């Protein structure tokens, strides 16, 4: 699914109005009804609602919401900021539609800001997606008081003060919403870690924007839905055999870190690969033979770390490299040999990333359109350079992938997948329970298995990251977020794939 800029969202609104021959006021009413429907399912009519409206269309949304909530017997108070004489036409229309029982009170100076009870529900409708400068003066003071109030804040479309798709100036005052309800599509800002305290839990409500416009508009930023992933998933054929689904090689493990090799191997097997071979230091032979009996194990001549590549390396369909392997000099040499000679697709993680990050020569040896990196943010900074904020990191991701013609799954709450074409895909599965050691090794195994099954590298990244997060979401139901381990993800991978095989209801 596409993510649109603030400008493209306005174009979608205008296109829809023309396509359906409706007024902008009718589209606003549709949005207000969608928001109100969500609100009704979240909050009881016994809770007092305070709606804060700015003079633009976001404020018009707020006024329409206030009217609809009043009709549903919520006790609603409305507070308006700005010059209503210069307000948008749809704002003025909805102000006239307010019933007499809902009096709109103006906030013209600091003393007009109401004291809010702790159990109040606040609807933030001050500014939406069109904001292009930081809040100042009375607007800033209102937002600061809302944030200090302890009330539950729900923002309409965007938290006021937050830019939709560019860096908000440092030190800006922004509403810290508990919930953000976005119209039709989520916004880029929702997917960036730096905005978590402002966006809160976000939900999307459909308002019927033109599918024709959305399908035709150009963008290089996407988010992955279940429907997107189900279209990628390949059915297994009746007369297939283990050779049909690829032979993967994992180069991983080191003394004291053989668990990383076990996790990657088990995840690879649970993700459908036909055959799996692991090359690990000889100290790990008995561990791997016992913990992963379905895999074949090759022992490196060195007991404690990897020092060379297998002799018959050409027989493999994909190579996953990095988990737990360390950065000893012989291991660095082996990585250099791999990059210089391999014609295989490579899934590169952990210490293998760190080895490559420390050498411009190794970066230059990366085979084009053959490499998937799976770094966490610190590993990515070592690989591509330090950044000041998440927007810079996103641009650095694009630049690195285009320069080296590679794929990068930048791990996080909404893992961002960079591609050689400059496109970025944000993931929508996963939870905080996955913030524990070993889950990255699991992802390496999953993606390696998918590449082995002849998914192209972009498909393997999108499907692998999604099913990895989905297995975490399924594990959340049984073990919770505090007690979750990487092994729980592996245990739930089969069910995650089964879920994707089921048609959407």
Question: Which pLDDT does position 379 carry in this prediction?
Answer: 98
| pLDDT digits (tens), the chain, 505 positions | 999 999 999 999 999 999 999 999 999 999 999 999 999 999 999 999 999 999 999 999 999 999 999 999 999 999 999 999 999 999 999 999 999 999 899 999 999 999 999 889 999 999 999 999 999 999 999 999 999 999 999 999 999 999 999 999 999 999 999 999 999 999 999 999 999 999 999 999 999 999 999 999 999 999 999 999 999 999 999 999 999 999 999 999 999 999 999 999 999 999 999 999 999 999 999 999 999 999 999 999 999 999 999 999 999 999 999 999 999 999 999 999 999 998 999 999 999 999 999 999 999 999 999 999 999 999 999 999 999 999 999 999 999 999 999 999 999 999 999 999 999 999 999 999 999 999 999 999 999 999 999 999 999 999 999 999 999 999 999 999 999 999 999 999 999 999 999 988 6
Query: 78 has which bridge partners?
Result: 51, 104
H helices within 237-389, ranges in order?
A: 258-270, 285-291, 329-341, 350-357, 360-364, 377-384
H helices within 43-106, ranges in order?
A: 57-71, 89-97
Question: Which pLDDT does position 484 carry in this prediction?
Answer: 98
Instruction: Report which of 267, 234, 229 is spatially closest to residue 248, judged by C-alpha positions.
Output: 267
CB atoms < 10 A from the CB of 27, how many? 21
Residues 468, 413: Cα–Cα separation, whole Å: 12
Quote the tokens at residue 120: 């109040």
> In 3-state terms, the chain is what percent helix, strand and coil (to 5)?
45, 15, 40
Query: 181 has which bridge partners?
Result: 156, 203
Residues 324, 254: Cα–Cα separation, whole Å: 6
Query: Token match 């073990």: residue?
Result: 479
CA separation, residue 68 to residues 54, 76, 505 (Å): 18, 10, 30
Question: Which pLDDT does position 288 carry in this prediction?
Answer: 97
Judge residue 99's burial from the number of C-beta atoms within 10 Å of its C-beta, 0-12 exposed, 13-18 middle, 19 or more buried. exposed
Q: Are 431 and 472 in contact (CB under 8 A)?
A: yes
Residues 113, 125: Cα–Cα separation, whole Å: 15
Neighbour-count burial for 319-357, b at 16+ CB within 10 Å, e otherwise: bbbbbbbbebeebbebbbebbeebebbbbbbbbbbbbbb
Cα Rg of the chain (Å, integer): 26
Instruction: Report which of 447, 402, 6 is spatially closest to residue 246, judged by C-alpha positions.
Output: 447
Strand duo 407-410 + 416-418: pairing: antiparallel
Q: What is the full DSSP assignment across 401-429?
A: HHHHT-EEEE-STT-EEE-TTS-EEE---
């Amino acid at each position: 699914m596409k993510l649109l800029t603030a400008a493209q969202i306005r174009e979608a609104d205008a296109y829809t109005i023309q396509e359906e021959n409706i007024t902008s006021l009718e589209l606003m009413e549709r949005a207000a009804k969608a928001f109100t429907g969500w609100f009704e399912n979240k909050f009881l009519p016994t809770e007092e609602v305070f709606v804060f409206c700015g003079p633009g269309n976001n404020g018009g949304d707020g006024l329409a919401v206030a009217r609809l909530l009043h009709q549903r017997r919520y006790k609603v108070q409305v507070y308006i900021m700005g010059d209503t004489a210069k307000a948008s036409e749809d704002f003025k229309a909805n102000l006239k539609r307010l019933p007499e029982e809902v009096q709109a009170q103006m906030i013209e100076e600091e003393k007009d800001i109401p004291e809010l009870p702790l159990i109040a529900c606040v609807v933030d409708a001050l500014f939406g997606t069109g904001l292009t400068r930081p809040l100042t003066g009375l607007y800033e003071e209102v937002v600061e008081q809302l944030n200090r109030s302890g009330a539950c804040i729900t923002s309409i479309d965007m938290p006021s003060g937050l830019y939709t798709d560019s860096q908000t100036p440092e030190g800006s005052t922004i509403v810290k919403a508990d919930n953000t309800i976005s119209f039709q599509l989520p916004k880029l800002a929702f997917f960036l870690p730096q905005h978590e305290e402002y966006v809160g839990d976000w939900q999307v409500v459909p308002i019927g924007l033109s599918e024709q416009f959305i399908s035709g508009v150009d963008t290089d930023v996407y988010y992955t839905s279940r429907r997107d992933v189900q279209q990628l998933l390949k059915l297994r054929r009746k007369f297939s055999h283990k050779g049909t689904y690829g032979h993967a090689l994992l180069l991983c493990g080191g003394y004291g870190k053989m668990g990383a090799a076990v996790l990657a191997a088990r995840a690879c097997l649970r993700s459908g690969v036909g055959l799996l071979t692991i090359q690990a230091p000889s100290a790990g032979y008995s561990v791997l033979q016992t913990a992963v009996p379905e895999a074949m194990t090759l022992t490196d001549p060195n007991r404690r770390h990897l020092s060379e590549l297998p002799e018959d390396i050409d027989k493999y369909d994909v190579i996953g490299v990095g988990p737990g392997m360390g950065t000893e000099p012989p291991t660095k040499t082996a990585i250099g040999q791999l990059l210089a000679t391999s014609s295989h697709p490579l899934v590169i993680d952990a210490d293998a990333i760190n080895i490559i990050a420390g050498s411009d020569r190794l970066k230059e040896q990366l085979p084009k359109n053959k490499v998937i990196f799976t770094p966490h943010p610190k590993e990515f900074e070592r690989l591509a350079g330090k950044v000041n904020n998440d927007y810079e990191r996103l641009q650095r991701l694009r630049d690195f992938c285009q320069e080296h013609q590679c794929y990068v799954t930048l791990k996080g709450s909404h893992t961002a997948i960079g591609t050689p074409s400059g496109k970025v895909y944000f993931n929508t599965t996963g939870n905080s329970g996955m913030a524990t050691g070993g889950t990255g090794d699991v992802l390496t195994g999953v993606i390696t298995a998918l590449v082995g099954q002849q998914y192209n590298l972009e498909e393997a990244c999108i499907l692998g990251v999604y099913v990895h997060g989905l297995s975490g979401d399924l594990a959340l139901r049984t073990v919770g977020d505090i007690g979750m381990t990487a092994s729980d993800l592996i245990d739930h991978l089969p069910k995650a794939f089964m879920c994707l095989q089921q048609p959407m209801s």
